[in-house]
Amino acid sequence: MRPVLLALLFVPIVAAQTPSDPPPQADVEDDFWCYHEVQPDLVGGLAALQAAVAYPEDARAEGVEGQVIVQFLVEPDGSITEASVLRSPDERLSAAALHAVRQMTFTPGEQRGRPVVVRFAVPVTFRL
């Protein structure tokens, strides 16, 4: 009798732990992705970005150098939108880095096999 009662006590616990149907997935276009299956890729790599950067002459003359971190959105077509500077040693370097990044194209990030908008950041180094 006791084993039967114990078995009956555990039935609701086991039933409560069985997985239910997964929640429906939202449409890919409606999502904004920070974590993604395929990361956006800069066409030509960071070397192409560094080559596109024009070091401001007045900053060069003053010996200003450092790293600028630029954050932006990579759109499903690979274009750049909403570019902004997260960190910079100098405003002149910020302007040069933003100008170079806005001219770059990316292969877009993907989620569930489809291109999506992805927030991304790249470092732009200014070294004399």
Q: Mean pLDDT, to the nearest integer, of 58-74?
A: 96
Asked whether 41 and 106 are in contact (CB, 8 A), the reply is yes
- pLDDT in the model for residue 106: 93
Model confidence band, residue 1 (pLDDT cutoffs 50, 70, 90) = low
Q: How many CA atoms lie within 13 A of 29 on its CB side?
A: 1
pLDDT tens-digit map of 79-125: 999 999 999 999 999 999 999 999 998 999 999 999 999 999 999 99
Domain boundaries, the chain: 24-126
The answer on pLDDT for 128 being more than 70 is yes
Rounded to whole angstroms, the Cα distance separating 67 from 90 reads 9
DSSP SS3 for 112: coil
For the domain covering 24-126, report its CATH number. 3.30.2420.10
Q: What is the pTM of this model?
A: 0.70
For 124, phi and psi rounded to 5 degrees?
-120, 120
pLDDT tens-digit map of 11-60: 555 545 555 555 555 555 555 556 678 899 999 998 999 999 999 999 99
The CA-based angle 22-24-27, given to 5 degrees, is: 145
